[in-house]
């Protein structure tokens, strides 16, 4: 496993070691001991989630507020997405900045997103099967998020906005300037 830093403190790219031959390939998608050793984080994941989406579906930008905040380890099992993490930790030097990366079944990359971040992705392939681990349980009362087209964030989603498929819930999320305190 190889771990790379991103411009956002604590947000890490995880590249598994893939063993391939004429039969196909094998890789360890997660190992708690190696993860802690290589990242310096003793994160304990308690919930796994999976979604299936079509090209142009944008999910995000989502977060859990305050004590329900979640660190996530995300990956794509099938297809390709543009994955986006937004630093929402008020004391951070990179507050209000985002990092994006293409995650796919071809590159097998994963992104570790610490607590205090908003997260979203858009599907670039015909379909995508997306999985993520969370270190805290989902709490409906702590749901929060930011509008995907917030001009302050200025995220390049690659797909033109008029072609995005966004839920009604995500369309009405506030911009960062209007969001208030997330408790980070």
Q: Which listed residue (98, 112, 119, 132) is catalytic?
A: 132
Model pTM score: 0.94
**Cα–Cα distance for residue pair 3/101, rounded to 1 Å:** 14
**Cα–Cα distance for residue pair 12/78, rounded to 1 Å:** 21
Q: Which listed residue (62, 98, 119, 147) is catalytic?
A: 62
* Residue 92 forms part of a structural domain: yes
* Residue 102 forms part of a structural domain: yes
- Residue 137: active-site member: no
Confidence of residue 51 (pLDDT cuts 50, 70, 90): very high
* Residue 184 forms part of a structural domain: no
* Residue 105 forms part of a structural domain: yes
In this structure, are residues 145 and 63 in contact, taking their beta carbons and an 8 Å threshold?
Answer: yes
- Residue 138: active-site member: no
Confidence of residue 181 (pLDDT cuts 50, 70, 90): confident
pLDDT in the model for residue 161: 94
Domain encompassing residue 52: 2-178
């Amino acid at each position: 496993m190889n771990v790379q830093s991103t411009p956002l403190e604590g947000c890490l790219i995880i590249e598994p070691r893939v063993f391939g031959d004429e039969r196909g390939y094998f890789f360890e998608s997660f190992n708690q001991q190696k993860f802690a050793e290589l990242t310096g984080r003793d994160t304990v994941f308690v919930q796994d989630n999976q979604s299936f989406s079509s090209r142009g579906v944008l999910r995000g930008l989502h977060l859990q507020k305050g004590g329900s905040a979640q660190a996530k380890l995300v990956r794509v099992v099938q297809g390709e997405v543009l994955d986006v993490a937004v630093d929402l930790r008020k004391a951070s030097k990179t507050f209000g900045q985002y990092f994006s990366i293409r995650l796919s079944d071809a590159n097998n990359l994963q992104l570790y997103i610490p607590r205090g971040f908003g997260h979203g992705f858009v599907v670039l392939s015909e379909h995508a099967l997306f999985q993520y681990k969370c270190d805290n349980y989902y709490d409906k009362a702590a749901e929060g998020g930011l509008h995907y087209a917030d001009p302050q964030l200025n995220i390049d989603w690659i797909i033109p906005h008029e072609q995005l498929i966004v839920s009604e819930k995500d369309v009405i999320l506030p911009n960062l300037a209007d969001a208030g305190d997330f408790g980070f």
